[in-house]
Structure 1
């Protein structure tokens, strides 16, 4: 028997931080972001009134639109029995993401899908709390059959069947206890972008990279795409500070046309980047394929996914061999059900998953995806790392608990939602 009780209400708050004041989070396409979130609480009458917490991430303006969309989606959830939701989450996801009226402003993409993600993230946080486990542990302890029942296979069976998903997950159970012990002892690899936002002056760039090295970071990502001269100078500074043996990644945030992406990245190849992230439009599957083929001889991979709208776009990218690093976003895809589908497809096509993170709450959510992928799906740490941007200059976010061993999805607010200067 599943958890007893029902959803009694859903509240959503518009939370924003003035990160644009000091250019934190700035890149070639998003010059003045104010990191924001539509923050959701799903209330229930289970266990004396237990709640689940979730969110989706935005850059400021438009956050109020997502909040309105969350309220529209919430009408489909309030009053639902928890047992009915959790016993067949794949069907519940399909009902929520394909409502006969709301899907017209999607389907399964855009603002309405961000709203679905926020609500589903809260429901999975709730489920983990009901079980007394962190989200990654809830997922890794599930039997393969239960995990598969959480997935909506609509539109992807030409790339991944239920039988194939079951086979991957059954193989993933072999050695799981040893991997969990390894994870608890050594942690999961991560990289930082906090030292290399596009709006930082050179002196601050050098200082931040130096401090990151002193803190133990070995993987660094730099924003590019504003001007080639500027990119070359900034990449030179970072490579000079971190040395020849540490990992460097580039992120263009969709700045270029396809041919421009190839030419620009070729000119930055001397800095030996592991990947070029989001080189062009996130919807251009064939463009990504062309870029991947053009850069393969240089040993530079293509990373993308933070703005891939749904599992279908990921399916096409994987089938076309258009990416070498899969960057699922926990707040853009439709929650855990759609993320599970992408993780399994990426495993089948042998593409490492490096979740997108860094915004409000993304690091907290992404850690659970990375850990579950290692424990139960890919079973590998090769070419994998999670973005971690915990501090942005003088602004320290005080919203979220980041302990990966805490119950839930690491997304409850700590007291009053606020920001403070350090």
Structure 2
């Protein structure tokens, strides 16, 4: 029967589509949910799921006798799933206006640049090569050592093959709940895109053993930044424009490293403070306590001299609740003299930076705009100067 065959071949895609459209939210931030595992890929790559759906349902429907009830039921399930996948694709387009609004509210109307039209190629590439981030004009210098802890102290550098000079630097730290993950996972579309635009990008491992304290991983993060200051000029880096970024647990480390940085160089083994960074960027970040230490959260290190922050989170994140990220951005915005750009992306799950997508393309453009503002302005916008903390809070209008 076509209906039974359609369900057996496409039932998982149908279930994943339904969950992606409206996943059940946990009561609190948690390291794992089944709905996240089933939906984070399909939420960013609905076209890939559409291909799988077509491959599973076209053969039984083509072989079945049209007009029979079972055929119509199978066709209905397939059509409904396809409509759901197209709805996911349309939903990704809501990211750009949210990011534009957040940037303009925090940095001023001129913060969002007008870009040249890229034509149809970005969309065609997503349709034809949905999981590929690689670019021929970017060179990855792999497995450079920044410490003595084996694989835990390796990093990769992404640079333009043609070379670069006076280039901004992005240091990216992967997620994984401080227990898993790798420099090869997370933000690869961002790393390749920025390197293709002339940036120097660094993606680093850090130690993951459960026996370590948060302070050890934070020390690794500072050591990566120190490596960039020591070695970045050889790749064309501008050391006055080092941005630290991360996803999930990596956003936690990036935020704490940025908040505890010092303008005064410290010895390489110092855990008191790190070298300064120009700005911090957090994707789907966890900002709570990492271990029993009271200072193992970025919230314990908020101060007026914090660098500018860009915080991006999904409204449907089923691992780190959006309320937690909103709280961090609000608390930081009330204290910091520098702007805090905070954007909530509708219909967005955890790990949204893993693969190329229409949504993440908009996030990458927001990173470029944020970094350009920091490099050209480097100061609090006039509307923020001498403002009371409440005037710098996140505009609730940007939240869903």
TM-score (normalizing by structure 1): 0.36
Select the structure of larger CA radius of gyration: 2
User: TM-score with structure 2 length normalisation?
Assistant: 0.38
